[in-house]
Amino acid sequence: MTPLAPSGSVNDILDSVIAKLIDATGADAALVRLVDRERGEFIVPVHKGFPQSFVEATKFKGSGSAVEVAFRTGEPIIAADIASDPRIKGKEQLRVGFHSCAFLPLKVHGATRGIVHLAARQVGYFTADKAAGLLAIAHQMGIAIENLEMFDAARSAKESLESTNRKLDQQTQDLLRSNAELEQFAYVASHDLQEPLRMVTGYTQLLVKRHRAQLNGNALEYCDFIVDGAKRMQGLIADLLTYSRVGTKGQPFAPVPAEEVVKRTLQTLAVAIEESAAQVSCDTLPTVVGDEGQLGQLMQNLIANGIKYRNGQAPEIHIGCVRQNDDWLFSVRDNGIGIDPQYAERIFILFQRLHTREEYDGTGIGLAICKKIVERHGGRIWVESEVGKGSEFFFTLPGMEVSDV
């Protein structure tokens, strides 16, 4: 028999098999019974040469019938003469003109799944000495079904993988959209909140200036609180605006010489560096690919923190960079107060601070901005530190070839 390709359904396969069975064995009729594993009864998906009435009548084979025995034992039953063979009980085949028959177990994945039933009009057509050849044919049929099932399993696994991927893509799209909407909201809200806040500060200051005489001591103090609170809120809103701008107002990536970025940052921080007598050293830095303004902001936040969170001594800050596989690994190390490692992740969350405003001024947004900038560039940021022993902030940037941009 020619090999059966795993295409089409089991029924298609069986259809071509039955024709080939008759061809190969010279039988006058053939049918395949498969056990319906859910209902535990036989179904006859294909047959040829048997009258339909016979097929219907033999669907339900009781205990002890040749079909049932061959199925249960997994052994073939070959009857040269149906009329005299005691294993063939009902003799219906005789009534429809068949005198010799073979029941061959159909094994798939080692288990009997059904029976191939061959019948011939001629007495003595199927004999025990033909068993090996007949079984080989049934065996090949089993392999064809096995292949088809494996092919079906592989196809459905592939389909389920594709559907999972589609769902994942959809979720990513949804997430990106809701993130963009949120950023847009934060941008609009923080932008629009500035104006009414300016009014609160402005008119409170005007009240104090023009009506100082009518305001008693307490009222003046309350006005100071209002202005102070409103100014703080202005600071927070301005930071929030900067934060939301990382995603909404970023510039396209271009080659950026990191050394230039650090040089400019140190100029911006010149006053703080001078006041604190900070020493800043720097490795030779590469040209990276990114948003120059944002990389400047990243460096500025990290270096400024190194100066701000000093430990009663002149800050010593070192900016390093090494190649790590496909990335650049930057580091900003200081000799400041350090961070308890249990807060190492929390400090990168918006508005999370480890100090009161009285201890160190700030809004707790600087490192959240750093994280957002690094992530927009496809990198990671983290800190390694010990309380009292200084901190080292690390971030990676993909080491793209500048010529790739």
Instruction: By CB under 6 A, name the binding residues for ligand ADP.
Output: 301, 305-306, 309, 334, 336-339, 347, 353-355, 362-368, 391
Nearest to 331 by CA among 268, 283, 403, 279: 283
CB of 397 to ligand ADP, least distance (A): 20
If you write DSSP's letter for every residue of 40-107 in order, what string do you get? Answer: TEEEEEEEESS-HHHHHHTSSPPTTSHHHHHHHH---EEES-TTT-TT--S-HHHHTT--EEEEEEEE
* CB-closest chain residue to ligand ADP: 362
- The whole-angstrom separation of Cα 47 and Cα 18 is 7
| Distance (Å, whole) CA 101 – CA 66 | 10
CA-to-CA distance for 82 and 121, rounded, in angstroms? 10
H or E element that contains 190:
helix 131-211
* Residues 17, 4 contacting (CB under 8 angstroms): yes
Beta carbon of residue 182, minimum distance to ligand ADP (angstroms, whole number): 20
Residue 402 CB, nearest distance to ligand ADP (Å)?
30
**Closest approach of ligand ADP to the CB of residue 233, in Å:** 15
Q: Which is nearer to ligand ADP, 140 or 242 (CB)?
A: 242
Shorter beta-carbon distance to ligand ADP: residue 79 or 337: 337
Sign of the CA dihedral with 131 first, then 137, 138, and 143 last: positive
Neighbours of 264 (CB within 10 A): 14
CB closer to ligand ADP out of 368 and 397: 368
Taking the least distance from each CB to ligand ADP, the nearer of 391 and 396 is 391
Closest to 379 in 3D by CA, of 282, 258, 281, 249: 258
**Minimal distance, residue 324 CB to ligand ADP, in Å:** 22
Closest to ligand ADP by CB, 258 or 381: 381
Nearer to ligand ADP, 93 or 391 (CB): 391
- Could you give the count of Cα atoms lying within 13 Å of 194 in the half-sphere of its Cβ? 13
Nearer CB in complex with ligand ADP: 250/362: 362
Supply the minimum distance, in Å, between the C-beta of residue 311 and ligand ADP: 9
Minimum CB separation of residue 317 from ligand ADP in Å reads 9
Asked if residues 208 and 337 have their Cβ atoms less than 8 Å apart, the reply is no
